[in-house]
């Protein structure tokens, strides 16, 4: 079997895995709505009691739109393979990838894309409905260039978040108990990425500082490209920066795993 057929099979396995537990799959989609609903009620109360038309440079309509889009994007790019990788490292599951013509990185990446294919399709349908509803209500101005760049930056966010998580997983070579570490880092990355609320809440100085990190380019940047908060020139600049972070974290992930594999003991598997 050549490499192309091999990775096609891995991608197909990823798609099948995402649909294997259908109830869990749809419950996960429904579960993503609860944080959005909670934030909707919180922001509604905040704006009603503030007596202001805009807070943190967002109008009420814009903050609700950001909350919905950020919730969908954060769900779409979520990795959820960290514990599987940790188990492979601890229990010798990496052994078969050391002797077979497939890299562990390649397997995890293609499988990840396969698992996200169904989510991506459903998310696109949800986004079409949200964009139509928001545009008809005057909250969102639909522009072709923003739709195209949003699609591109969304794929970039998916890849960048994978690479960030893959780098974090290298810590499993050194830490005996890794579960809580994954929970903490996942929560921290989500906050710094703007997955819970707009980064402007932290203040201008923090927003400027975070622009020099990869985190805003996973959720905050793609969402603001679509919503119109990001200017046209800044969109292209942000896209280049996102691509730069992808290249950097690809190299960093390869280096981190190359160094960490020296500590791997092929026990079990």
Domain locations in the chain as residue ranges: 3-263
pLDDT for the residue numbered 267: 57
Say what the pLDDT of residue 19 is: 67
Enumerate residue ranges in the chain where pLDDT < 50.
Answer: 269
pLDDT of residue 43: 92
Q: Residue 28: what pLDDT? A: 67
Q: What is the pLDDT of residues 111-126, one digit of tens each?
A: 888 888 877 788 788 8
- CA atoms 200, 206, 211, 214: torsion sign: negative
- Nearest Cα neighbor of 181 from 158, 196, 197, 165 is 165
pLDDT single digits (tens) 138-179: 777 878 889 899 999 999 999 999 999 999 988 888 877 787
């Amino acid at each position: 079997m050549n490499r192309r057929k091999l990775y096609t099979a891995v991608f197909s396995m990823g798609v099948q895995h995402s649909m294997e537990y259908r109830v869990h799959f749809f419950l996960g989609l429904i579960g993503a709505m609860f944080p959005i609903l909670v934030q909707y009620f919180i922001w509604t109360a905040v704006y009603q009691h503030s007596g202001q038309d805009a807070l943190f440079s967002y109008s009420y309509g814009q903050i609700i739109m950001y909350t919905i889009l950020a919730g969908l994007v954060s769900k779409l790019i979520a990795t959820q393979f960290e514990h599987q990788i940790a188990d492979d490292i601890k229990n010798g599951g990496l052994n078969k990838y050391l002797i077979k013509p497939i890299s562990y990185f390649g397997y995890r990446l293609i499988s990840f894309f396969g698992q996200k294919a169904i989510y991506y399709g459903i998310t696109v349908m949800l986004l079409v409905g949200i964009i139509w509803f928001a545009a008809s209500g005057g909250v969102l101005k639909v522009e072709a260039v923003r739709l195209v760049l949003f699609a591109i930056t969304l794929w970039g966010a998916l890849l960048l978040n994978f690479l960030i998580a893959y780098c974090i997983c290298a810590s499993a070579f050194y830490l005996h108990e890794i579960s809580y570490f994954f929970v903490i880092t996942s929560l921290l990355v989500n906050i710094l990425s703007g997955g819970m609320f707009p980064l402007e809440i932290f203040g201008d100085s923090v927003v400027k500082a975070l622009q020099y990190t990869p985190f805003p380019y996973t959720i905050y940047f793609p969402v603001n490209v679509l919503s119109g908060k990001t200017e046209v020139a800044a969109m292209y600049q942000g896209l280049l920066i996102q691509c730069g972070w992808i290249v950097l974290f690809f190299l960093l992930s390869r280096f981190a795993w190359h160094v960490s594999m020296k500590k791997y003991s092929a026990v079990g598997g």
